[in-house]
Structure 1
Amino acid sequence: MNIVLEGDNMGSITIVGLGPGDYDLISHGAYKLLKEGKNIYFRTKKHPIVENLIKENIEFKSLDYFYEKENDFEKVYDNISKFIMKEARTNDIIYAVPGHPRVAENTVEIIEKYAHNEGIKLNIIPSMSFVDAMFNFLGVDPVHGFKLVDAFKLSKEKIDTNSNLIITQVYDKFIASEVKLNLMDYYNDDEYVYIVKGAGIKDIEEKHKVKLYELDRLDKFDYLTSIYIPKTSKKYYDVFDLEEIMEKLRGENGCSWDKKQTHESLKPYVIEEAYELVEAIEKDDLEEMIEELGDILLQVIFHCQIGKEEGYFDLREVSAKICEKLIYRHPHVFGEENFNEEEFNKKWEELKKEEKGEKTVTESLERIPKHLPSLIKSNKVQKKAALVGFDWDNIDDVYKKIEEEYKEVIDAHRHGNIQYIEEEIGDLLFSIVNLSRFLNIDPEQALNNTTKKFIKRFSFIENSALKTGKKLEEMTLEEMDDLWNKSKKITN
């Protein structure tokens, strides 16, 4: 395969594959080029055929010294790639890598990107890959599908247990331990895996079938070692399984209740599940949190399935939308912008306004959901207004406003105007929310805590009355008030 990118007064790069390790498996084209070429660089001389090539009087320079300068492999690969590019700006060079240049070879990807940007001619001369040798050695047909993963990137990969898996660069027992721990998130501990060493190299290749939990107990790891795991059943259900389950529940032979639900009919459940999660969080009950988060996820999948059936949207569109939103609203993380935490809220609001096409602050205030609890909604309104400078200068002004609104409530009560009283009570509550904002207190949480405290103390009064043989209705206010004061000493 050749990729030709012409550049003026520049050299070229020819990347050759050395094959999986057996001298018979390097391609004729690759061998011929190494035999006749010059300016040859090997990414590493730690390859079984290198000794044979040296006997053939093939001269090359090894780039192994780059590994000694850095502990981070990503930096090593990038530094090697930059070095190759530097050499190629003035000379035609040959760059040799183990296996097939297109299979699990990070430097080739990087070099190809650099070469494209600089207009340097790039040629690829392949040999057999270690993957071909591995499947041949294992007696497995790759037509059934497989995924190839670098051991150093395994933690960032999404593993599909329904596909065969090959993990490369399992250099030592430490890496094997890391691989094992990552795989245990997807496979059962006693799942059989294969440690394959030197695939495709006569008299060296060997395989060991072990259980996953035994993976790092063998002393069989070096730069020629990979792990092979046949496809199997899942250890856990995932969100895609949930999607399939919901599709079946809504299908022809599904559940009659699930099939008749709509976006409108599910509204109460979304709210209910959200509050149940909040309660689980407040109780610090992890098991209940897991359950309630699952219930909320079910609501998301439920709405996505309905949207899919109606032809409007599905889970992928919903996932894409939130990913796009998060990236867009965090330019300091995913982009080049730089601002501190104090500036973040203002920037967030600016991005939301731009995203929603809003021209005024009022539009963003009106966007706040009308069904939000009133304390939460008023708090949000005040915060948005404060971001554009519509706020008290200091907390003393807030206290004065509360006193003012309190006096207006008293005045409204004296006049006996019910509508006016309601309005002034609203103003008083709004000013108290303002105070909580200045004090960095969540007004909704504060009132909920007070309500819980009231219930505890009321329970103490009622239980105390029952112990004396009285009902609350039979007690005087003074007696109940006395018990209330006692309850304050033993309840929070």
Structure 2
Amino acid sequence: VWLPPPGDGADAELLAGLSAAGIQVRVLRGAQEPPGAHLLDLVSIMDTLRVSCPWDREQTHASLVRYLLEEAYEAVETVEDGDPASLCEELGDVLLQVLFHARIAAERAAVEGGFTIDDVADTLAAKLIRRHPHVFGSTAVSSAADVNRNWEEIKKAERSQRSAAAGGGAPSVLDGVPFGQPALSLAAQLQRRAERAGMPGDSFAASDPPGDGAAGEIGEELMRVVARAQATGLDPEFELRAAARRFAERVRSWERSGG
């Protein structure tokens, strides 16, 4: 009996030689590893690093925030560059941040806000199932637009539940919007939420800018530009990034020409 490694083919020449010698061989192929099996290796490596590496031992959630942002932006850049090979590596760097934060959190008791990487996975799995009733439940949809509408209704119900559990006031459509994101992305997300709540589009920018002169007027004008972009189905953050890249190329071209 020969047990070749999973995924490897049997050595035809060796089998032929054994057969010619009158030796019968039965090949039993091992099962393929399920997708995600190698993630267990990463969890083990992260455990080792947290204990054995002086730098890794000192890190906290706060100290890792900059890396979480940097790695996410680097992954975005590979998408914009159309570089799938580099995207694979950069997604690994993003995954490292998830594993790192979960490993740090596992050092706290649950009553102190601690959690494990399995808690992260379980929470995500439950959310995906809850927000896809058309896949895992009996809800019927006929288009991506139906999916989006259901998604928003489910998120609205989740916000209400969180607000009630926290003993807060009435939930807002803006609950959960991260104000630490880039300004254009923030403006776009706020406008999308306001639109879904039924707020008139002409209210997205103040008719009377705040009393800080040109700065206030520019800010409100940018809000109007964001509204124009979204009205035409464009992402203002993406469009500005694309324009910035074009500008960078013009600068390089100007430099190459001698200035």
TM-score (norm 1): 0.43
Q: Does the aligned pair in 1 maintain the 2:6–2:31 contact within 8 Å?
A: no
Structure with a larger share of its residues in strand: 1
Tell me the CA shift for residue 276 of structure 1.
0.3
Tell me the CA shift for residue 191 of structure 1.
6.8
The alignment status of 1:334 with 2:117, answered yes or no, reads no
Q: Indicate the residue corresponding to 2:226 in structure 1.
A: 433
After superposing on structure 2, the runs of 4+ consecutive aligned residues of structure 1 that deviate more than 4 Å are: 358-362
> Of the candidates 195, 200, 212, which is equivalent to residue 391 of structure 1?
200
| Two-structure CA RMSD over aligned residues (Å) | 3.3
Q: 2:31 & 2:47 partners in 1: Cα distance?
A: 28
> Of the candidates 148, 151, 155, which is equivalent to residue 352 of structure 1?
155
Offset from partner CA, 1:412-458 (integer Å, 9 cap, x none): 9xxxx7x2322221111111111111100010010011111112112
Structure with a larger share of its residues in helix: 2
Tell me the CA shift for residue 364 of structure 1.
3.4
Q: Does the aligned pair in 2 maintain the 1:346–1:387 contact within 8 Å?
A: no
Q: 1:461 & 1:382 partners in 2: Cα distance?
A: 38
Q: 1:245 & 1:384 partners in 2: Cα distance?
A: 41
Which residue identity lines up with residue 123 of structure 2 in the other structure? K
The alignment status of 1:189 with 2:8, answered yes or no, reads yes
Tell me the CA shift for residue 362 of structure 1.
6.2
Q: 2:213 & 2:228 partners in 1: Cα distance?
A: 23
Identity %: 34
Offset from partner CA, 1:158-205 (integer Å, 9 cap, x none): xxxxxx9xxxxxxxxxxxxxxxxxx9xx8352578xxxxxxxxxxxxx
Tell me the CA shift for residue 352 of structure 1.
1.4
Which residue identity lines up with residue 275 of structure 1 in the other structure? Y
Tell me the CA shift for residue 361 of structure 1.
8.5
Offset from partner CA, 1:211-254 (integer Å, 9 cap, x none): xxxxxxxxxxxxxxxx55399x99x9711000000101112xx1
Offset from partner CA, 1:364-403 (integer Å, 9 cap, x none): 31421111111111111111111132233xxxx79xx98x
Relative contact order (alpha carbons < 8 A, sep ≥ 6): 1 or 2 greater? 1
> Of the candidates 380, 403, 422, which is equivalent to residue 215 of structure 2?
422
Q: Indicate the residue corresponding to 1:323 in structure 2.
A: 125
Aligned residues: 234
Q: Does the aligned pair in 2 maintain the 1:361–1:385 contact within 8 Å?
A: no
Q: 1:284 & 1:298 partners in 2: Cα distance?
A: 22
1:422–1:250 distance in 2 versus 1, CA, 3 Å: same
Which residue identity lines up with residue 129 of structure 2 in the other structure? I
> Of the candidates 420, 443, 447, which is equivalent to residue 240 of structure 2?
447
Q: Does the aligned pair in 2 maintain the 1:270–1:299 contact within 8 Å?
A: yes
Q: 2:77 & 2:37 partners in 1: Cα distance?
A: 26
User: How does 1:160-199 map onto structure 2 within 5 Å?
Assistant: 187-190=6-9
> Of the candidates 21, 28, 46, which is equivalent to residue 246 of structure 1?
46
Offset from partner CA, 1:116-138 (integer Å, 9 cap, x none): xxxxxxxxxxxxxxxxxxxxxx7
The alignment status of 1:364 with 2:156, answered yes or no, reads no
Q: Indicate the residue corresponding to 2:18 in structure 1.
A: none
Q: 1:361 & 1:444 partners in 2: Cα distance?
A: 31
1:342–1:229 distance in 2 versus 1, CA, 3 Å: closer
User: How does 1:24-423 map onto structure 2 within 5 Å?
Assistant: 187-190=6-9, 208-210=25-27, 227=28, 229=30, 238-251=38-51, 254-311=52-109, 312-339=114-141, 340-356=143-159, 357=161, 358=163, 363-392=172-201, 419-423=212-216
Q: Does the aligned pair in 2 maintain the 1:436–1:442 contact within 8 Å?
A: yes
